[in-house]
Amino acid sequence: MSKSEVAQIRPKSIGTSIPRREDPGLLTGRARYIADIVLPDMLHVAILRSPVAHGRIRHIDTAAAQAMPGVELIWTGQDSHARCPGIASTLEQKGFVATVQPLLAHDEICFVGEGIAVVVAHSRAQAEDALERIEADIEELPVVTDAVAAIDADDLANAAVPANMVYHSNRVTDPVEDAFANAALSVQGCFHTPRVNAAPMETRGFVARHEWTSGTLTCWSATQMPSFIKTMTAIFLQFPEHNLEVITPAVGGGFGQKAHLHPEELLTCLLSIELGRPVSWIEDRQENLFRAPQAKQQINDMALAVDDQGRFLALRDRVITDSGAYNSLPWTPLVEGHAGILVVTDPYKIAALSAQSLSVTTNKCPIGAYRGVGFTAPTLAREVLIDRAARKLGLSPFEIRRRNVIRQEDLPYQTRAGMTIREGTFLETVDRLEAMVGYEDFRKRQQEALKEGRLLGLGISIFSEVSGIGTRALNFLDYPLTSHDTATVRVEPTGKVTVTTGIVSSGQGHPTTLAQIAADAFGVPVEDVTILAGSTHHAVGFGTVASRSAVFGAGTIGRAAEMVRGRMRAVAARLLQAAPDDIEMSGGMIHVRDDPGRTMPFAAVAGAAYFAEATHPDDFDPALEATAAFDPSDIVLANGGHAVIVEIDMETCMARVEKMYAVEDCGRMINPMIVEGQIRGGMAQGVGMILLEELVHDERGQLITSTFQDYLLPTSLDIPDIEISHLETPSSLVPGGIKGMGESAMISTPAAVAGAVNDALACLGAAIEQFPASPQRIFEALSKAGVIERANNSTV
Ligand code: MCN
Ligand code: SMO
């Protein structure tokens, strides 16, 4: 049977907002996070991090540190390099430059915060005290901090990357000159999205325990990708994979930052192997700001050609991604830089596209994934330009979108980048959002506010989300990778259902939603299902990334359950004297279709399979257990939209979000409460990225926003009411009609917030293209438009 086969699941628990079964543990503090893992004889790691952005290590003196109390071991990069050359980002993609990220720098240092030595001591405090006694003699090298300048710079940020260019792609290069030359209108902008930190509440962490007696290496990791870490550890450390286990405890948020193999993880493994004792590395917040993968820094120089009716003719985009010093694995700069240009036209009919993307190396922390990875920045540029075109043509922002979105009658629609869009409720989303916002009333309110010297703005964004990313989607996005998951489903003798899965949760609620899926696969109550997750001894999974878990959960559990159901149907058919094809399961019972009298409990049939051979058909295989893989047969595309209203205070130039709206179409929702939680959390992150958050580096590559006093995260005070509305277009590619949605809000809310700020500024003829829209930048935008001066003059 094909791995893309869509097993039948009849929604019953699916679609209901049952409470999350993991919450009692999380809310009472009983759940165990990585820092709660305490093992006998455990030692603690602290890492010395480079104070310079680019340099060459001349000498590191560890003698004084070695003599400090509690110190067991100190390694420099020479020691780790002798055991593992580093994390190589090899990828079979023409023109892609692989980097090798050392576990500790042993020669060239490429960014502030890169590890250069490690202390293992009896306590973290002792390890940190010893760090202060290490003397590092570093020769400083020229620093490359600006991605645009890096393209033509003589200096290299990383000696391994010629011309500072990790990857350059231009898959779709339609000739668009004529379209722009003849267009009634063309709008253009150069949009800067900030370098940000996903800032999970829990920082990264890793505990390794090597036991020389058994040869086993057990790892606990706060990760989104345990199977990936296991295999990569086996490869990079040449450690026998069957002796490796990666356990995922409770994870306090990942948002993409924990979707990587980190140098510290391999280092911790090596230290435990060396010392024969458990070793724990728990990142502190400052380390997290300096060294955890950063994200999203792009420049999109985009232009849109529009006819006099507001119809889009052509789109041009040139993307520069500031990738930092190395490629993170597996989501290399390829992900942030290149996926977006292949989906940038998605919700709209645009006949011509010309897009190129450059990923550039700089002396900054490597970027990694962060919710909406790759899609956020180009979506922002596109949507802000659409608003700009609407303003120039005197159209409402809803109307211009209505004239361009892909409609039901256009489906299936082939985009210029080559994606076949089979379904989607783009027009319905525009209409729904317009009604929610109350557009006419808003414009009146905006005019009245302006008379009182208050600036209101409305921003809108329409998006599509490539969700449930499997092999087809990866290949479309130019990643030469294969991805499938497996799940094992077992019906126990008493009719309870046990599912083992490779999917781990970092807060998404999988223990609950996967149980809802399995319950409906067998027609049993959800309380009768248990989900075993969190050990690589369980089934195989690529990881909780790319909004794939709902899709892969339904696909794998659906197929495995179908195999088990087949066996149960065979027994039941015999017991109920019917044909197996006429046997149905629902409400915890097994019955003959259209014959309600012929029925027996699900548990009784399970019991018969285990304990009553006399009930078995000939050649019956009584294993009520099956493992199945799943990989969707094509891209599972979700869609929706966001609208945001902001107010800018003319005195302080601060923007504040007044109201936010979301429309989401993720097919059938498994658990609407969880879906809405995903939306709200993602929208808060979107507000943070566009109004508050920015990792700022000076020209020497020093991070100057190194605490939460400088790196501003949104709090509940910054997030207003969020009104959510659902459309449900079931997917035919996934059991239950499910599509993923975990990243939607971070794909599109930033665009809506950016659009809202611009709409407010446009009242005074100003515009902003650099984000976050800090008071400083808003002040500058108003000054540039001559508004601030005019205001000052009028008060004089
Ligand atoms: N869901 C549902 N019905 C659907 C689709 C999804 O009920 N039709 C539920 C799912 O069962 C799951 C949640 O919504 O509980 C998100 O599902 P999905 O879209 O499949 O995304 P994943 O579970 O694969 O989660 C990954 C996604 C990503 S890529 C990032 S980044 C992100 C996000 O999830 N990181 C998060 N949301 C997060 N939420 C929390 N709390 N913490 C993170 O680190
Ligand atoms: S950025 Mo999410 O982990 O794909």
Per-residue pLDDT tens over the stretch 83-133: 999 999 988 888 999 999 999 999 999 999 999 999 999 999 999 999 999
- pLDDT category at 479 given cuts 50, 70, 90 is confident
Instruction: Looking at the CA of residue 548, tell me the nearest atom of ligand 2.
Output: 4
Closest residue by Cα to atom 36, ligand 1, is 255
pLDDT of residue 333: 75
* DSSP helix, strand, coil percent of the chain (3-state; round to 5): 35, 25, 40
Q: How far is the CA of 525 from the centre of ligand 2 (A)?
A: 32
Residue 390, pLDDT > 80, answer yes
Instruction: Looking at the CA of residue 741, tell me the nearest atom of ligand 1.
Output: 19
Q: Where are the domains of the chain?
A: 34-141+203-251+258-291, 298-472+633-795, 484-629
Closest residue by Cα to atom 40, ligand 1, is 507
- Mutation probe of ligand 1 site: the residue of 225, 373, 463, 547 with most atoms within 8 A of C-beta: 547
Tell me whether domains 34-141+203-251+258-291 and 298-472+633-795 share a fold. no
Q: Comparing 332 with 600, which gets the higher pLDDT?
A: 600
pLDDT of residue 673: 98
Strand partners, 465: 638
Residues 726/695, Cβ–Cβ less than 8 Å = no
Residues 11/736, Cβ–Cβ less than 8 Å = yes
Closest residue by Cα to atom 5, ligand 1, is 740
- pLDDT category at 792 given cuts 50, 70, 90 is low
CATH number of 34-141+203-251+258-291: 3.90.1170.50
- Mutation probe of ligand 2 site: the residue of 225, 373, 465, 469 with most atoms within 8 A of C-beta: 373
Q: How far is the CA of 551 from the centre of ligand 2 (A)?
A: 15
Residue 297, pLDDT > 70, answer yes
Closest alpha carbon to 539 in 498, 572, 570, 508: 498
- Mutation probe of ligand 1 site: the residue of 678, 689, 733, 743 with most atoms within 8 A of C-beta: 678
Per-residue pLDDT tens over the stretch 403-436: 999 999 999 999 999 999 999 999 999 999 999 9
Question: Helix H segments across 663-713?
Answer: 672-687
Rounded percentage of the chain residues whose pLDDT exceeds 70 = 99
Task: Check residue 122 and report its DSSP letter.
Answer: S
- CA–CA distance, 299 with 146 (Å, rounded to integer): 11
Instruction: Looking at the CA of residue 743, tell me the nearest atom of ligand 2.
Output: 2
Place of tokens 């879906």: 675
Q: How far is the CA of 380 from the centre of ligand 2 (A)?
A: 18
CA 557-560-563 angle, 5° bins: 145
Helix axis angle for 549-576 and 510-522, nearest 10°, is 30
Of the listed ligands, the closest to the CA of 225 is 2
- pLDDT category at 790 given cuts 50, 70, 90 is low
Residue-wise DSSP of 277-346: S-EEEE--HHHHHHHS-BB--EEEEEEEEE-TTS-EEEEEEEEEEEEESS--BSS-HHHHHHHHHHHTTT
Closest alpha carbon to 563 in 471, 617, 487: 487
- CA–CA distance, 176 with 756 (Å, rounded to integer): 29
218: tokens are 């057990």
Instruction: Region of 70 please: left (phi>0), alpha (psi -120 to 50) or beta.
Output: left
CA 252-255-261 angle, 5° bins: 90
Of the listed ligands, the closest to the CA of 200 is 1
Sheet bearing 636-648, strands edge to edge: 455-467, 636-648, 655-665, 722-726
Strand partners, 655: 648
Instruction: Looking at the CA of residue 372, tell me the nearest atom of ligand 2.
Output: 1
Residues 329/311, Cβ–Cβ less than 8 Å = no
Strand partners, 455: 648
pLDDT of residue 288: 98
733: tokens are 């590619």
Residue 549, pLDDT > 80, answer yes
Q: Provide residues with CB under 6 Å of ligand 2.
A: 224, 256, 259, 369-371, 373, 545-546, 743
Strand partners, 405: 348
- pLDDT category at 480 given cuts 50, 70, 90 is confident
Buried b (16+ CB within 10 A) or exposed e, 256-284: bbbbbbbbbbbbbbbbbbbeebbbbbbbe
Instruction: Looking at the CA of residue 552, tell me the nearest atom of ligand 1.
Output: 20
Closest residue by Cα to atom 3, ligand 2, is 256
User: Which of 1.10.580.10, 3.40.50.620, 3.30.365.10, 3.30.70.580 is the CATH number of 298-472+633-795?
Assistant: 3.30.365.10
Residues 467/615, Cβ–Cβ less than 8 Å = no
Rounded percentage of the chain residues whose pLDDT exceeds 90 = 95
Instruction: Region of 526 please: left (phi>0), alpha (psi -120 to 50) or beta.
Output: alpha
pLDDT of residue 447: 97
Closest residue by Cα to atom 23, ligand 1, is 549
Residues 624/562, Cβ–Cβ less than 8 Å = no
pLDDT of residue 787: 86
- Mutation probe of ligand 1 site: the residue of 258, 549, 726 with most atoms within 8 A of C-beta: 549
Per-residue pLDDT tens over the stretch 186-239: 999 999 999 999 999 999 999 999 999 999 999 999 999 999 999 999 999 999
Task: Check residue 729 and report its DSSP letter.
Answer: -
Q: How far is the CA of 369 from the centre of ligand 2 (A)?
A: 6
Residues 222/258, Cβ–Cβ less than 8 Å = yes
Per-residue pLDDT tens over the stretch 697-736: 999 999 999 999 999 999 999 999 999 999 999 999 999 9
pLDDT of residue 462: 98
- CA–CA distance, 775 with 649 (Å, rounded to integer): 9
Strand partners, 306: 185, 312
Instruction: Looking at the CA of residue 738, tell me the nearest atom of ligand 1.
Output: 8
Residue 795, pLDDT > 80, answer no
Place of tokens 């989300």: 465
- CA–CA distance, 632 with 2 (Å, rounded to integer): 10
Q: What's the whole-number average pLDDT of the chain?
A: 96
**Residues present in the chain in total:** 796
Could you give the C-alpha distances from 206 to 110, 245, 280, in angstroms and in order? 24, 13, 6
Residues 200/253, Cβ–Cβ less than 8 Å = yes
Tell me the torsion sign for CA atoms 197, 198, 203, 208. negative
67: tokens are 């003599």
Residues 314/350, Cβ–Cβ less than 8 Å = yes
Instruction: Looking at the CA of residue 259, tell me the nearest atom of ligand 2.
Output: 3
Q: Provide residues with CB under 6 Å of ligand 1.
A: 253-256, 371, 467, 506-510, 513, 544-550, 666-671, 674-675, 678, 681, 738-743
pLDDT of residue 796: 36
Residue-wise DSSP of 376-423: HHHHHHHHHHHHHHHHHHT--HHHHHHTTB--GGG-SEE-TTS-EE--
Residue 361, pLDDT > 60, answer yes
pTM of the predicted model over 0.95: yes
What are the backbone angles phi and psi of residue 110, rounded to the nearest 5°? -115, -5
Q: How far is the CA of 27 from the centre of ligand 1 (A)?
A: 19
Closest alpha carbon to 687 in 664, 709, 712, 666: 712
Q: How far is the CA of 139 from the centre of ligand 1 (A)?
A: 45
For range 285-308, the mean pLDDT: 97
Question: Helix H segments across 37-163?
Answer: 63-66, 77-83, 124-131, 147-152
Q: How far is the CA of 62 from the centre of ligand 2 (A)?
A: 39
Per-residue pLDDT tens over the stretch 134-193: 999 999 999 999 999 999 999 999 999 999 999 999 989 999 999 999 999 999 999 999
Could you give the C-alpha distances from 593 to 91, 471, 495, 605, 736, in angstroms and in order? 52, 38, 21, 16, 21
- CA–CA distance, 719 with 753 (Å, rounded to integer): 12
Instruction: Looking at the CA of residue 369, tell me the nearest atom of ligand 2.
Output: 1
CATH number of 484-629: 3.30.365.10
Residue 331, pLDDT > 80, answer no
Instruction: Looking at the CA of residue 546, tell me the nearest atom of ligand 2.
Output: 4
For range 671-675, the mean pLDDT: 98
Closest residue by Cα to atom 16, ligand 1, is 742
Residues 749/465, Cβ–Cβ less than 8 Å = no
| Number of Cα atoms under 13 Å in the Cβ half of residue 97 | 19
Instruction: Looking at the CA of residue 543, tell me the nearest atom of ligand 2.
Output: 3
